[in-house]
Structure formats: structure tokens, C-alpha cells
Amino acid sequence: MKPLILPVLCAVLLTGCSASADVLGGGPSASPSAPASAPAPQITVSVPDGATEEAPDTALRVTATGGTLTSVHAVPADDGESKAHVAVDGKLDAAHRTWTASRTFSPATTYIVHATATGPDGQPTTARSRFTTLAPKRANRALLGPLDGQVVGVGMPVTLRFDHPVANKAAVEKRLTVNTTPHVDGSWGWVRDPLTGQERVDWRPANFWQPGTRITVTAALSGVDTGNGRYLPRDLSTTFRIGTSRITRVDLAAHQMTVSENGRTVRSLPISGGGPATPTYNGTMIVLDKVPAIRMNSQTVGLGDAYDLNVKWAVHLTTSGTYLHAAPWNAARIGNTNASHGCIGLTTRDAHWFYDHVRPGDPVITTGSTGRTVKAGNGLGDWNLTYPEWKQRSAL
């Protein structure tokens, strides 16, 4: 067995001799220590990770300490599958150390914040945070018009109607953008319908639109608090175009109405307006809509049992019930006497012609009445204010 032990002992001795040589300095020299790495940047998200019931109009802020921010994204966890859930953009400060959200968040939505910062050594650091906005107990809803792709008359304003009154008008107006081709200056103005009480904000230029103008409206309203915790649920947008300049002028004293297209008179028609007790409004009314037949009952406008009629070729001018329509029962008065309950009556043939030619947004301008001027909120009466008066109705 001894021959087997000797090689093992020799190996141990050789190993020991090699170790002794290093200690004595006969081996290789020691390598220098590596420099300490720079500390990674610290990324802070103002909304705590995992927060719930966060206000949609919270002011989200992301900051970097010991580095600069290179990217920040705040996106819905559903990756935008729901059109009501909006991604949130923001702005970096000049030093690229603070990112601030530039809009509100969608209610009842989970958001994920991804942030990347770069340290002095050029190495990136990432952070991820997740939070959920509250589901409001009360909401407000808005309807934007005209409809997307619609062609309208030269008097049609942009309209944004609300289910409930808006207390935070400036907060809403700041989120609205109007772009026109060609460029047109204009202003938002707040109005309330005197009959229904519905509140809306309209945008109109100083004068009627030019035919062919293209208008795109963006309302980034998702998460905006309209007041008293009534949040708007979604963004809205529309693009529409201005068609033929068709303007109707009604002279109630002369019992005549003139229709012009692009500055050229195309038809003059006899009419009968409102009688002495119920005169037609003076001022500019804008065609709201039209129907080939409608039942008109005086009880719906507070006139008792004065009439109950099936009316043809009805063009709607005010929410208080002013129409321009066929009035065969007044045939003997058309062209010489004002005898209606406030509407503008024509012969059936003329009313049919007008119905076929007119479109929503066309102005109907009435003069010569003993009645009042139509209020701005009654239908689309915005044009009854001068442009300086209109601009005063903006909240900004």
C-alpha cells in the first residue's frame, strides 16, 4: 500500500511550496481594485404604486434624482382597447428631471406608468408604477356637433351640449381645440337654452363661415370634473365642412322672404308671420333640422288649445318652437297679413321647394317684426350677439 501513499504526499507538498512562494513575493503581482460604479438614478412617481380611487384630474408628476428622464409613458392597462380610456401625454422640464402630465385621466381606469432615466455613466434605470382612478358616483355627459363628416350651412357653430350645468367652465374650455382650413379666428361662448335650461358651449367666428371651410374639433374631456364631482367620461372629436352659402332673409313687414345662394338671389317667396299677439322673433335663427311632416300642438308651447295640426315641410328654427313650414290654412293671408302663432308660413308648393334646398346651419334672418330678438341660447341664436359680446361669454 505504501507506493500508493507517496504520490499523494508529494502533491500536498508541491501545493504548499507554491503557496509559500506567492507569500514571499515570488509569484505574480496583485491586480489593482476596480473603480466603484456610479449610483443608479432614483425615479419617483407622485401617485403611489397600487393606489386606488385616484382622482382623474390628479396632477401626475415623475421625477429623477441623480440622472435625467429619457422617457415616460402613462397608458391604460387595457392598452387602449377601450376608446373611452385615453393614454396621457406630458411634458419634460428643461433639465429633463421632471415630467408633468398635460391632461386628465379617464375615470374608472387602471393606468401603468413606465419611466426610464439615465445616470452619469450612461446606464438606464427603469421604474414601473400602477394605479386606478375612481369610478365617480355622479357623471356628466356631453354631445359634440355637428356630426363627423357632416356638411352644414355657413351659420352653424360648433356645439358642445351638457346633460348637467357646468361649474368648472374654464377647466372644460381649456380642453377644447378648433382647427380650421383655411384659418379662421373664433371664440367659445357659454349659453343656456331659456326653455329647456340645457347648457352648452359654442364656437363661432366673427362672421359667417366661408363655403368650403373644413373644421376639426378635439374635446379632450375624459376625466374633467365639470363641478361637484361630475366627471366627463370620454374624449370627443368631429370633423365637418361648410357647404353652399345659403341665406334666407324674411321681411315680416313686407310679408316676403328671399333666398340667396353664394350671394345670388334664387327665389323670392310670399310668407305670413306671427300675428300681433304672437309675433315672430326678429334676428338670426339657424336651421336646426327639418322633417317632412310633424304634428304641432299649441299646448306644447304654452298656447292652450289654439291649434292641433299636422304640418308638412317643417324647417326647425328655435327650441321654443319656431318653424318655417307649409300653412295652407292661411293661404288667403300669405303675402299680405301676419296671422300665425309665431311660425313663418308658406304655400305648400313653396314650403316644399324650401325644404328640399335648405340644410342644417343655414341662416334665416328675420326683420320687421314687432316681437323680441331671439335669445342666443334659443336654438342656435349665437349670431344675435356682436362678436365682442360673444367673446365675453368665454370662460378664459
- Catalytic amino acids? 325, 343
Name the pairing type of β-strands 363-367 and 283-286. antiparallel
* Whole-angstrom distance, CA of residue 106 vs CA of residue 97: 26
* Whole-angstrom distance, CA of residue 143 vs CA of residue 159: 8
* 232 φ, ψ (degrees, to nearest 5): -85, 135
Neighbours of 251 (CB within 10 A): 16
Which residues have CB under 8 Å from 312's CB, separation 6+? 292, 293, 325, 326, 348, 351, 352
CA dihedral 247, 252, 258, 263 (to 10 degrees): -40
Q: What angle do CA 273, 276, 278 make, to 5 degrees?
A: 70
CB 158 within 8 A of CB 143: no
